[in-house]
Amino acid sequence: MTTSARADVWTSSVRLYRTRALASAACRAGHVKVNGAKAKPAQSICVGDRVEALTDGVLRILVVTRIILKRVGASVAVTCYEDHTPAPPPKEERPMMPMRDRGAGRPTKRDRRALDRLRRR
């Protein structure tokens, strides 16, 4: 059993990123931090390290509990870290898009097609 892994290998193995290349790119861009410091792709990650990764606009905060080097299924990947990511804020209710009254304003494409069919007859 290994005691450490590269940052890009571990983040892709636990399914934070789809591929190792994307994980490496995220490390180079500064989207991955290990123990508060920006991580290079080759930085070692050990058990107990705190990993912060920006994925799809969401900051994931994980504590490493197990080192893996190969990509595994989602159910196994979850056992390799403790997730300390805060819950997302509740979604605000968005007002419905205003609907125009029928016959008010410009006709829609559907209305124009109906008019064209009517004029052809």
Query: Model confidence over 55-66: pLDDT tens digits?
Result: 988 999 999 999
Q: Using 50, 70 and 90 to split pLDDT, how confident is the model at 118?
A: confident
SS3 12: helix
pLDDT for 105: 77
CA dist list (Å): 9 to 20, 52, 104: 6, 15, 59
Start-to-end CA span in the chain (Å):
80
SS3 50: strand
pLDDT for 96: 63
Please give the Cα distance from 9 to 15 (Å, whole number).
10
pLDDT for 26: 95
38 sits in the region (left: phi over 0; alpha: psi -120 to 50; else beta) called: beta
pLDDT for 103: 65
Q: Which of 64, 58, 67, 65 is closest to 85 using CA atoms? A: 58
Q: Using 50, 70 and 90 to split pLDDT, how confident is the model at 101?
A: confident
pLDDT for 94: 61
